[in-house]
Chains A and B, each alone.
Chain A
Amino acid sequence: MTRPDGLQRLIDLGVTPETPLADLRGIKLTNAVSLIGILATSGWITISTIADINVLYALAASLVAFAAVLGLNAAGRYFAAQLTFAAVPLLITAAQAFNLGLSAGIHFYLLPIAFVPFFLFSRDRVRFALASSSVASAFFCAIAWTWSPAHPLVDSALFSFSLASSAVAITVIGAYARALALASEAQMDQQRRDNQALIRDVLPVRIAERLLTGASSAIEVYDDAVILHADIAGFTPLAESMAPEELVSLLDDLISAFDEVCARHCVEKLKTVGDAYIAAAGVPDRLPDAAERAITAAVDILAAARAVRERRGLALELRVGVACGTVAAGIVGKQRYSLELCGEALDRAEALQQAGRPGVILVDARTRARANTRTFLAEADDNFRLVP
């Protein structure tokens, strides 16, 4: 369903990106119905055959009230707009119904007015909705019971017209209100899904699911976690020759490429610390082939860094250390948390990275024993150099 742009903008009057979704329904409904109200009232004024000055005053007052609702919404005073919308047409209609008598049928307009407040106010303000709805309903009954004398200018055609048009109003407002309510709910649901998708991007999936279902995340011990620690050799000299923004954009290129490699091999990225990149295999999902995965990821990360180097024409190379050991892992702290690991394997992976030369992957004996399908060269201190 596409609406003319101008009309949509009028209906969205006062809606900003910061508007709470709970208020959206009320704003749109008051705007839309006020617009119809302005049109209908202006129509009444121009074609009105009732030369009663009270009727004209009432119509003019409704016009002002509807315009005020639009103005209040535009100014961000949503609740004031809702109150105005609920109270003013109700009182004017009731006054005119008493003025013109039962045979004018004006009181039928009180029925849509008794229905609409429930869609108008936000979820926690049902008392306002109940109050204005029951007042409208009470006036409707009261007019039938008081038998105010028919106004001399009223004819039976007016009665039929009022009845028919209020029936149309009931269907139109009912349909629009329901559609708005479902739309705001769907939008809220979409927002929830978007948030959840973001959270699944940021945290390991298993931990994201736990947190999203409201469970807390426990600290677990992993006996054979394999840590990968990579550092960009040649980054510090670059840092002195490049503007900081440029440098971070280069870092973004590299880190994004590493992230893709890790995601491909089910290796969990842990952190970036400056130009260092730390990931782990076998955490938080225990994998039997963690060592193999970590090594494959290390090889691919090296290749990814070389691809960026070729593309950018910069002297960059990675030093990578891979170490296996017992670690504890969990979510730590209350804010800006990510998967935190603790264990000597982390320090060993970093030490291996620092001990190695650029372009070399150094692997500890424990990792090597678990990934013996590869060719390794022995290094000093029981470590091995990977020969891809």
Chain B
Amino acid sequence: MLRRLLHAGTHYAGSVADAQRVQIVNAVILAALAITLGLQPANLVVGDWSTTYNGFAAAGLFLAAYWLNATGRAWGAALILSLVTPVAIVAQLCFEDAIKGGSQLFLLPAALIPFLAFPSASTRAATLVSLVSTLVLIVDVLTRHNQADVLAALAEPGPRTEIVHAAVGLLTCLLGYFTWRLLRVSEAGVAREQRHSEALLLDLFPGSIARRLQRRERISPERHGDASVLFCRVVESAAAAPDLQLRVLSGLYAALDDVCARHGVEKIKTFVHSSMAACGVPQARPDHAEVLVSAALEMLAVAGRSSSPVVIRIGVHSGPVVAGVIGRNRYTYDLWGDVVNTAQRMEAHGLAGAVQISAVTFSKVNHRFRCEPRDPIQIKGKLVERTWLVRGASEEHA
């Protein structure tokens, strides 16, 4: 029952935060209503009719605010809730000359209520309404002829002043806390989605490239003086039907992607049975060849270990490449250049279950890996190249 009362009107709210706002305003209104009506029997017993009238008037106002909130007019409810205090103070000042025990001080927390109660889209209205409370206080305090009266009324020693101060301090603290709660609700929702989209983007592009794409920069292809490129191809797989093949590839590429991530190798792309990775782009690093070759050895091992074992062969070559993003849609961070073509040939002419490297790469990794020379092979009819097969890490690095 209480839940239903608190949730009245929340479905009209445009956002999670505004829905929570409606709920908080409902709670405040219901509490105020209960307190106002609860005090009336005592007033009736004493026979204080003017206070009773005021009490019922306030209760009527709170009911109206609740009705507005429940019917989707959160703006109106916020207005009533924010103006109750300044209007009551003005009324008191008009009808009674003396200020009773400094109830004006409640105008200070009252100036915070609009920031809590008004919907997210109405910040300007909230500020204007907050200004009403502030102005009532300023006009009251600064326009009095005798400043000593103000001091006497608001800082008069006695329990009334003490209680007013305690209530004002507590209210300010509470209003701040509830404002924070709202802030957290809306920020958390937006932040969660933002993080999710950010994570997806970082799956799709290297971090530095993703940042630049977010800033709407064009990633014009640029030359990287020294990097290593790896091609990997599935040469044997038990699966026959296309969807089974794709399932096997899915498992394999997930495992290979983990290897890349662990070694700090940049996965570039896959195309059916073949995949491409690189090291030294987009961030240059001096040990790109060693890192890529050690990742390649682990890829061989991982491919054999996967749930549906496949045989892969790998080729690596090093040198200058052009890297960047081209095209209008479905673009990726890609590499081009002779080094890329040669790396692919290293793979194409390699052996199943082995990592074949070019002479350039060999000169960079020779000190760390045991490499076995192959007979010179002719590649695409144009070059006779010496290549090496990497057999493992050399003893002192094992």
| Chain A residues near B (Cβ < 8 Å) | 17, 21-22, 102-103, 105, 108, 110-111, 114-119, 123, 126, 129-130, 133-134, 136-138, 140-141, 143-145, 147, 155-157, 159-161, 163-164, 166-168, 170-171, 174-175, 177-179, 181-182, 184-185, 188-189, 191-192, 194-196, 198-199, 201-204, 211-212, 214, 219-221, 239, 244-245, 247-249, 251-252, 255-256, 258-260, 262-263, 268-274, 278, 326-330, 332-344, 346
Q: Is the CB of A326 within 8 A of B123?
A: no
Kindly state the separation between the CA atoms of A141 and B167 in the bound complex, as whole angstroms: 8
- B interface: dominant SS: helix
B246 nearest CB across to chain A (Å)? 4
Per the 8 Å Cβ criterion, residues 250-297 of B in contact with A are 250, 253-254, 256-258, 260-261, 267-272
Q: Which of A192, A255, A329 contacts B326 (CB 8 A)?
A: A255
Q: Is the CB of B123 within 8 A of A133?
A: no
* B130 close to chain A: CB less than 8 A: yes
Contacts A192-B190, A259-B327, A269-B330 hold; do A346 and B177 have CB atoms under 8 A apart? no
Q: Which of B165, B177, B222, B260 contacts A335 (CB 8 A)?
A: B260
Residue of B nearest to A336 (CB): B267
Q: Is the CB of A272 within 8 A of B334?
A: yes
Across the A-B interface, the 6 shortest Cβ-Cβ residue pairs: A144-B165, A333-B253, A195-B197, A328-B243, A118-B180, A328-B242
Q: Is the CB of B333 within 8 A of A271?
A: no
Q: Which of B141, B267, B322 contacts A163 (CB 8 A)?
A: B141
Interfacial chain A residues near B205, Cβ < 8 Å: 336
Q: Is the CB of A203 within 8 A of B107?
A: no
Interface size on B, residues (CB 8 A): 106
Q: Given contact pairs A244-B320, A248-B221, enumerate 18 new A-B contacts (beta carbons under 8 Å).
A: A115-B172, A115-B175, A118-B177, A118-B179, A123-B191, A141-B170, A160-B147, A171-B133, A177-B115, A214-B196, A251-B336, A271-B269, A271-B271, A274-B340, A332-B250, A332-B253, A338-B332, A342-B272
Q: Is the CB of B242 within 8 A of A327?
A: yes
Residue of A nearest to B216 (CB): A194
Which of B37-45, B52-60, B148-156 is the contact stretch? Answer: B148-156
Which of B28-36, B181-189, B357-365 is the contact stretch? Answer: B181-189
Interfacial chain A residues near B164, Cβ < 8 Å: 144
- A interface: dominant SS: helix
A209 nearest CB across to chain B (Å)? 12
Q: Is the CB of A144 within 8 A of B180?
A: no
Interfacial chain A residues near B197, Cβ < 8 Å: 192, 195-196, 199, 212
Kindly state the separation between the CA atoms of A329 and B197 in the bound complex, as whole angstroms: 23
Q: Which of B155, B180, B246 contacts A328 (CB 8 A)?
A: B246
Q: Is the CB of B272 within 8 A of A195?
A: no
Q: Is the CB of A334 within 8 A of B166?
A: no
Kindly state the separation between the CA atoms of A343 and B241 in the bound complex, as whole angstroms: 8
* B11 close to chain A: CB less than 8 A: no
* B247 close to chain A: CB less than 8 A: yes
Q: Is the CB of A248 within 8 A of B326?
A: yes
Kindly state the separation between the CA atoms of A179 and B142 in the bound complex, as whole angstroms: 29
Residue of B nearest to A248 (CB): B221
Tell me which of B176, B190, B193, B338 has the highest count of chain A C-beta atoms within 10 A of its own C-beta.
B176
* B236 close to chain A: CB less than 8 A: no
Number of A-B contacts defined by CB within 8 Å: 324
Q: Is the CB of A330 within 8 A of B272?
A: no
Binary per-residue interface labels of chain B (195-213) against chain A in the complex, 1 for a CB within 8 Å, 0 otherwise = 0111011011100000001
Tell me which of A145, A268, A332, A340 has the highest count of chain B C-beta atoms within 10 A of its own C-beta.
A332
Q: Is the CB of B245 within 8 A of A328?
A: yes
A113 nearest CB across to chain B (Å)? 9
A373 nearest CB across to chain B (Å)? 28
Q: Which of B166, B321, B326, B341 contacts A251 (CB 8 A)?
A: B326
Contacts A144-B165, A195-B201 hold; do A175 and B115 have CB atoms under 8 A apart? yes
Residue of B nearest to A183 (CB): B123
Kindly state the separation between the CA atoms of A105 and B151 in the bound complex, as whole angstroms: 9
**21 residue pairs from A and B, CB less than 8 Å apart:** A123-B183, A123-B187, A141-B165, A144-B164, A160-B151, A168-B138, A174-B115, A178-B126, A182-B123, A192-B190, A192-B197, A195-B197, A327-B242, A329-B246, A330-B246, A335-B204, A336-B205, A336-B257, A337-B253, A341-B272, A342-B272
Contacts A327-B242, A333-B253 hold; do A202 and B332 have CB atoms under 8 A apart? yes
Interfacial chain A residues near B247, Cβ < 8 Å: 219
Q: Is the CB of A118 within 8 A of B176?
A: yes
A76 nearest CB across to chain B (Å)? 18
Kindly state the separation between the CA atoms of A344 and B222 in the bound complex, as whole angstroms: 36
Q: Is the CB of A340 within 8 A of B194?
A: no
A13 nearest CB across to chain B (Å)? 22
Residue of A nearest to B258 (CB): A334
Interfacial chain B residues near A252, Cβ < 8 Å: 221, 326-327
* B50 close to chain A: CB less than 8 A: no
Binary per-residue interface labels of chain B (321-362) against chain A in the complex, 1 for a CB within 8 Å, 0 otherwise = 110101111111110111011000000000000000000000
* B103 close to chain A: CB less than 8 A: no
Q: Is the CB of A159 within 8 A of B243?
A: no
Interfacial chain B residues near A278, Cβ < 8 Å: 271
